[in-house]
Amino acid sequence: MNVEIKWLGHACFAIRGGDYTIVIDPYNSDYTTGYPKLRVKADMLLVSHEHFGHNYREGVVLSGRPESDCPFTISKLRVPHEFKMGSWRGFCDIHILEADGCKLVHLSDLGTQLDGGQISRLYGADVAMVCAGSATALPAQEAKRAVDEIMARVVIPMHYRHGNMGGHRLETVDDFAYYFESPEFIHRYDTDTIVVTPDTEPQVAVLRFLGPEALGDLAAPEEKAEKKGLLRGLLRKK
């Protein structure tokens, strides 16, 4: 199965299998440094945990299609957000999407190393989206170890600082890439999208954030007009 993965910024992706689109971990721009307001369309929304950089449900307009249309089987693994085993920042869910022999994993803000059972569940991932910015998750070197342990074929860094985007405490993607011995393994794209096929070569795919102007058919209309219409109706009733 060919899968299109579009990086929408921070830890947010639009994942498309066929004509079905899943958005995972939408960010709230009021709390996510530098990123523009997010407003996109999707058939399904997944949220890994209830932090502002991951749970902005208001930014996703759902189509109303039934879940039975989804080509993916979706499961979750609950993991600690930090090294204190969840006592500080709580827990988050790793989402696993599988279809036609293709396995995608979104590692969320994984804060501890994976145990044997978790590695077994994630092993052989075709794609692993991994927090590369540390701060509230695994340091870059430990994040690299995690994707090595699950033998991910394509690694997509997320949740890092670049330009004026991402909190100042976050590391850059170069801090993460440093731990990969072969420079040719790092593929830097001029687009925010990668299509993963059975023939896609192993790599670290550094996608480029392009912002709202690159959303295409994912763009959702603003809700301001609806609010104004509602307000006019209320004023008439008065």
Task: Provide the pLDDT for residue 81.
Answer: 63
If you average pLDDT over residues 119-132, what whole number do you get? 96
Is the pTM higher than 0.85? The answer reads: yes
Select from 57, 28, 54, 31 the least CA-distant residue to 45.
Answer: 57
User: Where do the DSSP E strands lie in 33-191?
Assistant: 40-42, 44-46, 60-62, 73-80, 91-99, 102-106, 127-131, 154-158, 186-188
What are the φ and ψ backbone dihedral angles of 74, each rounded to 5 degrees? -120, 130
**Cβ neighbours of 177 (radius 10 Å):** 19
d(CA 130, CA 140): 10
If you average pLDDT over residues 165-176, what whole number do you get? 88
- pLDDT category of residue 175 using cuts at 50, 70 and 90: very high
CATH class of 3-237: alpha beta
C-alpha 201: how far from chain center: 21
Is the pLDDT assigned to residue 194 strictly greater than 90? yes
Domain limits, the chain: 3-237
Q: What is the Cβ-side half-sphere exposure of residue 182, based on CA atoms within 13 angstroms?
A: 6
- pLDDT category of residue 84 using cuts at 50, 70 and 90: low
If you average pLDDT over residues 162-176, what whole number do you get? 89
Tell me the per-residue pLDDT of 29-43, one tens digit each, with 9 for 90 and over: 998 889 999 999 999
